[in-house]
Amino acid sequence: MNTSWTHTTVLLNEAVDALFSDPQAESGDAASATSGCYVDATFGRGGHSRLILSRLSPQGRLIAFDKDPDALAAAATLDDARFSIRHQGFAQLGELPDASVAGVLLDLGISSPQIDNPVRGFSFRFEGPLDMRMDTTRGISVAQWLATAETEKIAEVIRDYGEERFAGAIAKAIVARRHERGAISTTTELAQLVADTVKTREPGQNPATRTFQALRIFINAELEELQQALAASLTVLQAGGRLVVISFHSLEDRIVKQFIAEHSREVYDRRAPFAAPKVMKLKALGRIKPGAAEVAANPRARSAIMRVAQRTAA
């Protein structure tokens, strides 16, 4: 792991403050350190985890999840008996015991080291293998998938996960290139093909942005994993426990917003108008975006949206 690829944690203090349901614990005062089990479901390079640990009492516990072997290597440098990490995606959150967790933090998307390392194949800015897997120890790469996928499926993925209006044309170009010269194998090959196919684009945006986003989300099943983790949070969170989710694009945020809204309202059975309503499982606590100073210091924070909810006693 090349430590020169650094990562600046987005909404660091805001996220950890929101995670602790005890207002005293939010102060960071060692005297008010909290016990309980917390989950950092996306360890990354450990920015949130280290701050969480600084807020925990000796009896507290932090469980982290991450699929990325580089993140596991970074976690190995964190010497704290209260900390453990699982080489799993956050879809496995439901493996924890019911009502065993006081707070769950999900920091979605990809980290700067993943983007900046050409070998990972996440960025159209660098020449590298067209991989994009979060977990390089399993699954198939984007290049392998594009080598055999049908035109209609490629178009569906780029349209649904990238919200790309030229998805059909891009998919046809990918398959035509495959038949003529062989499958695309590098990031720059794909970026150039998209640029040659997409003739118009929003000012300041690379033509390949939406296609790369779509293929990354698809190959890692990111939205499906998010839905599984959100559902599991209802089971593993204790009453009063906090759910904190940081999203970086509209597809993720829409899922989080709708999930919190669905479980934050009482539902009445129209067939039994006098029956008690189905009690809500969450209480929505708000939405936070990075301030101007954070965005100026870290432009990658500009699209972040953090949503917070609290598990009810229902």
109: left (phi over 0), alpha (psi -120 to 50) or beta: left
Q: Which residue ranges in the chain fall short of pLDDT 50?
A: 1-3, 23-32
Q: Which fold has domain 12-112+222-311?
A: Rossmann fold (3.40.50)
Domain boundaries, the chain: 12-112+222-311, 136-219
Which of 148, 134, 152 lies closest to 217, judged by CA?
A: 134
* Beta bridge partner(s), residue 83: 62
C-alpha span between 121 and 139 (Å, rounded): 15
Q: Where does 136-219 sit in CATH, by number?
A: 1.10.150.170
pLDDT value of residue 304 = 94
pLDDT value of residue 15 = 95
C-alpha span between 32 and 14 (Å, rounded): 18
pTM of the model: 0.89
Tokens of 239: 């009453």
pLDDT value of residue 208 = 93
pLDDT value of residue 28 = 43
8 A C-beta contact, residue 186 and residue 128: yes
Residue with tokens 């072997």: 69
Element (H, E) at 245: strand 237-247
pLDDT value of residue 3 = 44
The C-alpha angle 224, 228, 230, rounded to 5 degrees, equals 115
Which of helix, strand or coil describes residue 270? Answer: coil
pLDDT value of residue 114 = 83
Task: Write out the DSSP string of 116-134.
Answer: H-GGG---TTS--BS---S
